[in-house]
Chains A and B, each alone.
Chain A
Amino acid sequence: MYGLRFQAAVLAAKMTKKLLTLTGRKGTTLPGQIALRICPDLLAVYGKLLGQRTVFITGTNGKTTTSNLLVHFLRQDGRNVISNSLGANLIQGIATTLIEGVNFARHQDQAVVLEVDEATIGNVIGHLQPKAVVVTNFFRDQMDRYGELDTVVDMVGRALKKAPNNTTVILNADDPLVTSIAPEGKTVVYYGIESSQFDSESHSEVRDGKFCRQCGGNLQYSLYHYGQLGFYDCPDCDFTRPIPSVVAEDVALHAEGIRFQVGSVTGFINSPALYNVYNALAAITASTVFGVQDEVLVREMGYMKTQLGRMERLTSAGGRNLMLTLVKNPTGFNEVLKVVEHEQRPVELVIILNDRYADGTDVSWIWDTNIERLHQFADLRRIYCAGTRAEDFAIRLRYADLGSITEIVEPDIACVEQALRDLPDGHMLYILSTYTSLYNIRDHLLNQGGKELAPENRASVS
Chain B
Amino acid sequence: MHLKIAHLYPDLLDLYSDRGNVIILQKRAEWRGLRATVDEITVGHEPDLSEYDILVMGGGMDREQGIVAGDLQKRRENLQHAVDKGTVIVAICGGYQLLGNYFETSGGQRIPGIGLLDIETVGAKVRMVGNVVAEMEIDGVKTNIIGYENHSGKTYLGKGVQPMMKVIKGYGNSGEDKFEGVRQGTVFGTYLHGPLLAKNPALADHMISLALKRKDLSVQLEGLNDELEARTQQKLYKRLVESR
Contact = CB atoms under 8 A, between A and B. Distances in A.
- Determine if chain A interacts with chain B: yes
Interface of A: 140, 143-144, 147-150, 206, 210-211, 216, 330, 361-368, 391-392, 394-396, 398-399, 401, 403
Most chain A CB within 10 A, of B16, B19, B62, B127, is at: B16
Contacts of A391: 228, 231-232, 235
Interface of B: 11, 14-20, 23-24, 27, 61-64, 67, 127, 129-131, 148, 150, 152, 193-195, 198-199, 228-229, 231-232, 235
A366 B61 contact: no
A395 B27 contact: no
B195 A364 contact: yes
A367 B61 contact: no
Given A362-B148, A364-B16, A391-B231, 10 more contacts: A144-B148, A147-B127, A147-B152, A367-B19, A367-B20, A367-B23, A391-B232, A396-B198, A398-B228, A403-B228
Contact of B11 (A210, A362, A394, A398): A210
B198 A392 contact: yes
Most chain A CB within 10 A, of B15, B17, B152, B229, is at: B17
A147 B24 CA distance: 25
A149 B24 contact: no
Contacts of A396: 20, 198
Contact of B61 (A149, A361, A395, A399): A149
A399 B131 contact: no
B150 A211 contact: no
Given A147-B150, A391-B228, A395-B232, A367 B127 contact: no
20 contacts: A143-B150, A144-B148, A147-B150, A147-B152, A150-B62, A150-B63, A206-B14, A361-B131, A362-B148, A362-B150, A364-B20, A364-B194, A364-B195, A391-B228, A391-B231, A396-B20, A399-B20, A399-B23, A399-B198, A403-B228
A363 B131 CA distance: 10
Contacts of B195: 364, 367
A392 B63 contact: no
A143 B232 contact: no
B70 to A, nearest CB: 12
Given A144-B150, A362-B150, A391-B235, A216 B20 contact: no
Most chain B CB within 10 A, of A211, A361, A365, A395, is at: A395
Given A365-B17, A366-B17, A392 B148 contact: no
A139 to B, nearest CB: 12
Given A150-B62, A211-B63, A399 B148 contact: no
B68 to A, nearest CB: 12
Q: Which 4 A-B pairs have the closest CB atoms?
A: A367-B20, A367-B17, A391-B232, A364-B17
B230 to A, nearest CB: 10
Most chain B CB within 10 A, of A144, A148, A206, A394, is at: A148
Most chain B CB within 10 A, of A143, A362, A363, A392, is at: A362
Contacts of A216: 63, 67
Nearest to A391: B232
Nearest to B234: A391
A321 to B, nearest CB: 30
A315 B204 CA distance: 44
Contacts of A143: 15-16, 150
Contacts of A367: 17-20, 23, 195, 198
A297 B64 CA distance: 43
Contacts of B232: 391-392, 395
A150 B61 contact: yes
Contacts of B11: 210
B17 A368 contact: yes
A119 B162 CA distance: 39
B148 A364 contact: yes
B228 A148 contact: no
A361 B130 contact: yes
B22 to A, nearest CB: 10
B228 A394 contact: yes
Contact of B19 (A149, A361, A368, A394): A368
A367 B148 CA distance: 13
Contacts of A211: 63-64
A13 B95 CA distance: 49
Contacts of A140: 15
A368 B22 CA distance: 12
Contacts of A206: 14
A440 B232 CA distance: 24
Contacts of B129: 144, 361-362
Nearest to A369: B17
A456 B63 CA distance: 52
A395 B228 contact: yes
Contacts of A363: 148, 194
A150 B62 CA distance: 9
Nearest to B17: A367
A367 B15 CA distance: 11
Contacts of A149: 15, 61
Contacts of B228: 391, 394-395, 398, 403
B228 to A, nearest CB: 6
Contacts of A368: 17, 19
Nearest to B194: A364
A398 B232 CA distance: 13
Contacts of B15: 140, 143, 148-149
A361 B129 CA distance: 9
Given A364-B16, A364-B193, A367-B20, A392 B199 contact: yes
Contacts of B131: 361
A147 B150 CA distance: 7
A211 to B, nearest CB: 7
B233 to A, nearest CB: 9
Nearest to A218: B11
Contacts of B229: 395
A149 B64 CA distance: 12
A368 B152 CA distance: 23
